[in-house]
């Protein structure tokens, strides 16, 4: 091999040509091709190039340390960013969970009020029906009595005619008031509350859809949305509807 000797002259390779960067034997050293070149003994050339290699190694190691520091900094920054995005994610979830709980509590309260109105209506209706049924029964008895009175002979019919006429006058039915002013007023107030709630939710929807930056897009899950929030197929648009609906089930 080249390290063992010159293949051309079979002499030991003891010199090094710096221009050609080649090991030379004594014969090659004196040849016209290398006579004018800077030639060093092989050990001296090796020490010189070893110094250059060591300097290059120091630069490489310095670059490596610098890259390690940059990588550590990037990892730390990424971790910090992930911590911040995680905190914001939790904040969003907490905010919307709080909003969901608030809406559910408000819905329960409104439905409770509506249930109370319905129970009052049922109670009043039952009382009215009972009163009317009793009055109908009383009138049935009085009608039967007066019909029998009309079948009596004249003398008997005229007996105690004043009492009979008095009973007829007292027996006339007075139309009861069918309106329920207090309940009607409560239902009207309840309707106004619902209209105000719908307007508020529409305004909130507009804020979410149009005032937040476009990059802060959210995808809504129809299966977990409020029953009166209609979610588009792509999950990025929502609007309020007046009636509840059952979201499509996957599968």
State the pLDDT at residue 63: 95
State the pLDDT at residue 213: 57
State the pLDDT at residue 103: 87
Q: Mean pLDDT throughout 62-77?
A: 94
Q: Mean pLDDT throughout 138-154?
A: 90
Q: Do 16 and 24 contact (CB within 8 A), yes or no? A: yes
Q: Where are the domains of the chain?
A: 15-61, 182-211+221-243
d(CA 232, CA 249): 14
State the pLDDT at residue 89: 92
User: Could you give the C-alpha distances from 81 to 53, 85, 87, 92, 163, in angstroms and in order?
Assistant: 41, 6, 10, 16, 98
% of the chain surpassing 70 pLDDT: 78
State the pLDDT at residue 250: 47
pLDDT tops 70 at residue 71: yes
pLDDT tops 80 at residue 188: yes
DSSP H or E segment with residue 23: strand 22-24
pLDDT tops 80 at residue 208: no
- Return the minimum-mean-pLDDT range out of 31-35, 114-118, 215-219, 235-239: 215-219
pTM above 0.85, yes or no: no
Which residue did the predictor score with more confidence, 165 or 175?
165
State the pLDDT at residue 202: 83
Q: Which residue has the tokens 């819905």?
A: 107
The structure tokens listed for 90 are: 């939790």
Q: Mean pLDDT throughout 79-108?
A: 91
Contacts of 223 (CB under 8 A, 6+ apart): 247, 249, 250
Instruction: Match domain 15-61 to its CATH number in 3.40.30, 1.20.120, 3.30.160, 3.40.50.
Output: 3.30.160
The structure tokens listed for 120 are: 């009052």
pLDDT tops 90 at residue 40: no
| Helices 42-150 and 181-206, packing angle to 10 deg | 160
For 145-158, the DSSP string reads: HHHHHHTS-HHHHH
User: Could you give the C-alpha distances from 223 to 220, 247, 248, in angstroms and in order?
Assistant: 9, 6, 7
State the pLDDT at residue 22: 86
Q: Mean pLDDT throughout 165-191?
A: 74
Q: Which residue has the tokens 């609007």?
A: 239
State the pLDDT at residue 251: 41
Nearest Cα neighbor of 238 from 228, 251, 250 is 228
pLDDT confidence band for 73 (50 / 70 / 90): very high
DSSP state of 236: S
User: Could you give the C-alpha distances from 241 to 131, 194, 231, 238, in angstroms and in order?
Assistant: 41, 12, 10, 10
User: Could you give the C-alpha distances from 185 to 100, 114, 178, 182, 198, in angstroms and in order?
Assistant: 30, 13, 15, 5, 20
State the pLDDT at residue 31: 83
Q: Which residue has the tokens 């049924």?
A: 133
pLDDT tops 90 at residue 76: yes
């Amino acid at each position: 091999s080249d390290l063992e000797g010159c293949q051309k002259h079979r002499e030991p390779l003891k010199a090094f040509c710096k221009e050609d960067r080649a090991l030379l034997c004594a014969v090659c050293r004196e040849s016209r091709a290398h006579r004018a070149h800077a030639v060093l003994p092989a050990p001296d050339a090796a020490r010189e190039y070893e110094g250059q290699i060591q300097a290059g190694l120091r630069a490489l190691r310095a670059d490596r340390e610098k890259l390690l520091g940059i990588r550590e900094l990037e990892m730390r920054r990424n971790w910090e960013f992930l911590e911040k995005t995680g905190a914001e994610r939790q904040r969003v979830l907490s905010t919307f969970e709080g909003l969901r709980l608030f809406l559910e509590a408000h819905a329960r309260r409104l439905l409770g009020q509506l249930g109370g109105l319905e129970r009052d209506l049922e109670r009043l209706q039952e009382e009215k029906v009972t009163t009317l049924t009793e009055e109908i029964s009383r009138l049935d008895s009085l009608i039967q009595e007066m019909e029998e009175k009309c079948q009596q002979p004249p003398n008997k019919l005229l007996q105690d005619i004043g009492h009979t006429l008095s009973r007829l006058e007292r027996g006339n039915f007075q139309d009861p008031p069918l309106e329920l002013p207090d309940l009607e007023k409560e239902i009207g107030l309840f309707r106004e509350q619902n209209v105000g709630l719908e307007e508020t939710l529409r305004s909130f929807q507009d804020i979410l859809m149009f005032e937040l930056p476009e990059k802060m897009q959210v995808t809504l899950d129809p299966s977990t949305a409020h029953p009166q929030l209609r979610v588009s197929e792509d999950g990025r648009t929502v609007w309020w509807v007046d009636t509840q609906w059952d979201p499509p089930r996957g599968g």
